[in-house]
Structures are given as C-alpha cells and as structure tokens.
Amino acid sequence: MKSLQKSLIVFFSYLILLNAETVAQPDSVIFTSSNLPLVLIDTEGQTIHNSYRIVVNMGIINNPNGQRNYLSDPFTDYNGKISIEIRGSSSTMFDKKPYGFETQDSAGNNLNVSLMSLPKENDWVLYASYSDKTFLRNEIPYYLSRSIGRYASRTAYCELFINGSYRGLYVLMEKIKQDKNRVDIAKLNPQDTTGSELTGGYILKIDKPYDVGWQVNVNPLYGFDKAYYQYHDPDSAELAPKQRAYIKDFMFKVESTLVSSNYRDTVNGYSKYIDVQSFVDYFLISELVKSVDAYRFSFYMYKEKDSDGGKLCLGPIWDYDLAFANYGEGAWEQPWLTSEWIADITAWKRTYFMKRLMSDPNFKNKVKERWIEIRSSIFSTSNITSYMDQTVSRISEARIRNFIKWPIIGIYVWPNYYIGATYEDEITFLKGWIIQRLNWMDIELTGNPLIVEEENDNVLKSFNLDQNYPNPFNPSTKISWQSTVSGRQTLKVYDLLGTEIASLVDEFKPAGKYNVQFNSNNFSSGIYFYKLQVGQYSKTKKMVLIK
C-alpha cells in the first residue's frame, strides 16, 4: 500500500468505450489533490474478477475540516484488507468497472467500519456511473427517498486509484442488507422457525434470474410474465426450509389478494398484507424518475416480523442509472418521454402491483395526498434543482479528471437517449426533463386527498405534523405534532443535502399532542427539513431560516 503514496504524479492511459469497443487515448495528466476522499487499492498483482472475490489492500485518505486530500497524506478512514469483485449486470461491459467489497480484519472476518462518515458496516459498493454522465441519476432518488423517511443507500463521492492508476470519479454506496443503519428490521436467524420469530425479517428482490428464487403460482393480471422473487438477505443458503416455505406462502397471499375481486376491501384486501404508505412512496419516486427497470429489476421489498407490524414494505430503492431518460433503446416503452406512467408499461412485463393498486380510488387518493404534502417541500422544483446544483459544485473538479480519463462527453454510451456536447448540456437536459416530469405528474395525479378510507385503524388519519411557526424564522421556531399511538418518537432536522443537523426528540412518548422549540443560533440561512417518525409512520415539512 505504501507504494501507492510515493508519488503525487499519476500518469494515465486513457480509454473510451465506443459501442463497446476500446480505443486508446495517448495522453497524461498530473494529479495533485482533490476536495473529495481518495480510495487507494493495491491488488498486489492480482486481477479483480466478476465471478469471485480476491483479498487486496485498501486505504482511504479523507482529511477533516474540508482539507484537501493528497496522495502523500496518511490514511485516515481505513488502512487494511478488503475482499473485492466486479459487480453489476450490464455495467460490467464498460471499461470503467463498478466494484463491490467487504472490509475485513487480519483474520479475514467481516469488519464493521465507518467509511467517509457513513455508518459502520462491512458491505460496500463503488459505483462507476459510466453511462450516466451527470453522476446524479442515482443520487437524486436516494436523496429524495431518505428525505421523506424511506431508507436509501447513503453515498459519498470519491476518486479511485488501483495499483497507482487513476480510475476516475466514483460513488461509495451502502449495499442493501439488514442492519440497524440500513434496512432496520429484525435479524432472521436460521433457528427462527416458529412463532413470530419465523415471520421476519426477510429482504426479497425481483430481478434478473441470476440467483435462487421462485415464481408465485398466480396468473398475472396483465401479460404473461410472472415476477421472479429472489432471497436477498438472508440469501437462500442462509434460510431454513421452513423459512423459505413461509415467505413463499406469504407472497402467494399477497398476489392472490391483489388479483382477487375483493382486493380493495379495507379489512381483508391488500392492506391486510402490505404497508400501503411504503407502496405510495415507492410509486411516487419510481414514477418521477421513470426508470425502464422500474418494478421489474432491482425491485426490493422486505417483510417485518408480525410483532413489528408484519406487513410487506417496498424498498429500499436501487439502481437508477437508466432513469431520467437515460435509456434510448426502448422503442415500445419510450422511457425518455416525460409523460406516461411507467407502472402501466411494466405491468405487462413481470409485475402488475402498481397498476392494480392505482385502479383502487382509495390508493389513488393516498397517492395524491402524499404528493401534495411532499411536492411543496422535498419534491419541490426549487429543492431538487438546488440539490443538483450543490452536488454538481461538489464534484466539479473530479468530474473534469474523470472525463479526461474516460472521454465520453459528446459520445454515445449504451443506452444513452440524449448526448450532450458538454457536461453542462447533460445537466441542463436532466433539469429540464425533471421539471417537465414534475409538471406532468401535478396534472395526472387525479386522486382526491379529502376522501381517504383508512385500513384497519385510524392511525394515519390522526397522525399529524404541523407547519412550524413562525416560518420563515430567526432565531427560533415552534414545531407541533400529534400522534394517537404510543411509541418511540423522533424529530430530526436535515439540511438540503439530507444531512442530519439536529435531533430535537428521540424518546418513547405516549399518544398525545406535543411541541418543541428549534433554536437556529448555530446554523446559517437556508432551507431545512424536519421529519417526525413514530413507528412506521413519518411526515416531513420544510422550513426557511433567514438571518
């Protein structure tokens, strides 16, 4: 590893992917420093493969307090062993490879560590963002999901070196798995085969049929393709036969209910098995980004223990490099259009859930209710474009180096729909597309939020987070809320980037009405969000600080 830090000058040989053919670019550049963390990997002569992991050395330079990072600096976040492999599906054909890795101790055991300020864990992804030249198509939906109270992978931009060779701008991401800081459900152990212990937690996915899985014996409502469910965490080898049988039977009940004539029943219909609000939120994010893969690939869901609610939740969201009109190959799907529901298109190919749910007026009303709530804050045009501007500014240095290493600006890379002559053109197109899509959804979401039948209980009807007062404010403001259920309540404040800046409440509280003062003496002017979480229910509001 020390050999990776001996020189500040790194010479690159440049490659470009043109229709999957590699063309050498005889040029070199001097790397001096970066405002982003540096990831240095030394394979000790080994080749990284896509079929098995190898053990290599990795160090991370991430100096505190905004200091620049030099290759000669000592390692800060990590200096040790990892097991690494090339990951992904279609993205593996590009010369700029995505990687998955696990941090390990000297004995080869998993080692939970914090990398680049992300919570401790051992499973990580280095996302290459090759066909998405903006480096934003994953970041935007992840940010939006986290901001509305739905976990999505936390991320950190970085620059990667392998064996002294500069590999470009990458995104460190959390891999989807059960963990208190990721998918926060109970851990399912092999011995959990009876009672409530058997009922959760399971993380499943619908994806390309590369892993062990199954199809439910229910005829789909539209088309002929059935969803192919796969065991994600625990995987098939980690599950006991009773556990596999249980989750198969549960998913059979879910699909059987969805195709039945009484699927809308508020007691024995779909709401008996699914967390409706999670489906609402998943729908809104998926439809905004309009990925051609939506609802059929990288489609994750999880089931809690019955003692924790026991329903099927959608998420976390994952893999949006082909979203936001970045897929230009689908003549039938036409995913580049800012109109049309992607749920109507994919219903004929593998999953019909969302199309079926949107045929229920009550579900449509819930979607409209949620859209009105988040459209004025987190999903507002100004908030999304502001987040984009801040992110573009943060990667402004590194993306220039990246596109010297990989000179693909103005060049077709599968499966691009739009090809901008400059990076700025790519950003302008993406912004324009998002604005048009938001405006289209404003018109086409036709539910009535004033007519919502509650399923089984009235928790959501009485769960409320008020707008802070005064707003705008300086230096303090009052936040009020009410809940008709007892439980752990958290009230947290976030900045525009989704970073938690204050925890106002984090304790068990009985049902009732509450308020708290937020003092902003230590914060600068700007837009902030406050999020209330009580059990599985959450609400988020925007507030403005003016000094």
The tens digit of pLDDT for each residue in 162-200 reads 999 999 999 999 999 999 999 999 999 999 999 999 999
Q: Both 159 and 34 in a single domain?
A: yes
- Dihedral sign computed on CA atoms, order 64, 67, 68, 69: negative
Between 13 and 541, the more confident residue is: 541
| pLDDT per residue as tens digits for the range 244-265 | 999 999 999 999 999 999 999 9
Q: Both 159 and 199 in a single domain?
A: no
Q: Both 242 and 128 in a single domain?
A: no
Q: Is residue 201 over pLDDT 80?
A: yes
Tokens of 494: 């976030």
Q: Both 164 and 202 in a single domain?
A: no
Residue 529 is assigned to a structural domain of this protein: yes
205, 209, 213, 219: CA torsion to nearest 10: 90
Q: Is residue 385 over pLDDT 90?
A: yes
Average pLDDT over residues 538-542: 86
Q: Both 471 and 336 in a single domain?
A: no
* Buried b or exposed e, range 117-152, using 16+ CB within 10 angstroms: ebeebbbbbbbbbbbbbbbbbbbbbbbbbbbbbbbb
Residue 63 is assigned to a structural domain of this protein: yes
- Spatial distance between the Cα atoms of 50 and 31, rounded to a whole number of angstroms: 29
Residue 425 is assigned to a structural domain of this protein: no
Q: Is residue 422 over pLDDT 50?
A: yes
Residue 204 is assigned to a structural domain of this protein: yes
Give the residue numbers spanning the domain of 83: 2-174
| pLDDT per residue as tens digits for the range 495-518 | 887 888 999 999 888 778 889 999
- Name the residue among 527, 467, 535, 479 with its Cα closest to residue 503: 479
pLDDT value of position 24 = 30
Per-residue pLDDT band at 483 (split at 50, 70, 90): confident
Per-residue pLDDT band at 25 (split at 50, 70, 90): very low
CB-based burial label for 419 (10 Å; 0-12, 13-18, 19+): middle
What's the number of domains the chain is made of?
3
- Name the residue among 98, 16, 136, 15 with its Cα closest to residue 411: 16
Q: SS3 sequence, 6-20?
A: CCCCCCCCEEEEECC
* Verdict on whether the full-model pTM lies above 0.85: no
